[in-house]
Amino acid sequence: MAIEVRIPTILRTHTGGNKTVSGSGATLGALVDDIDSQHPGIKGRLVTDEGKLHRFVNVYVNDEDVRFTGALDTELKDGDSVTILPAVAGG
């Protein structure tokens, strides 16, 4: 099972500059663990110590923001595409 993950500029230091990486997992959480095993450090940029997605980052499965589909528990299937984008926000 291969899922393509689009990596934003700021996280490409973890992926050797690659814009996309490929991983596997039945849920988004499992996919993040798999990617982190290939690209150490990336999980810490996405997931808090409490095991939740960072407020600063948006993750989409296909076109859906995972905040509305179960966050890290969002189920994945072969061929899904995951996009990670930092929130553009401020005060």
Partner 1 sequence: MLRIDRASYDAIVAHARRDHPDEACGVVAGPEGSDRPERFIPMLNAARSPTFYEFDSADLLKLYREMDDRDEVPVVVYHSHTATEAYPSRTDISYASEPFAHYVLVSTREHGDQTGLVGDDVELRSFRIVDGVVTEEDVDVVESYLFGHSPTTVVYD
Residue 50 contacts partner 1 per CB under 8 A:
no
* Nearer residue to partner 1 within complex by CB, 56 or 79: 56
Name residues contacting partner 1, limited to 52-91 (CB under 8 A). Answer: 56, 58, 60, 63, 65, 67, 83, 85-91
Tell me the Ramachandran region of residue 69: left when phi exceeds 0, alpha when psi lies from -120 to 50, beta otherwise: alpha
State how far the Cα of 65 lies from the Cα of 6, in Å rounded to an integer. 14
Query: Residues in the site for partner 1, rule: CB under 8 A?
Result: 8-10, 56, 58, 60, 63, 65, 67, 83, 85-91
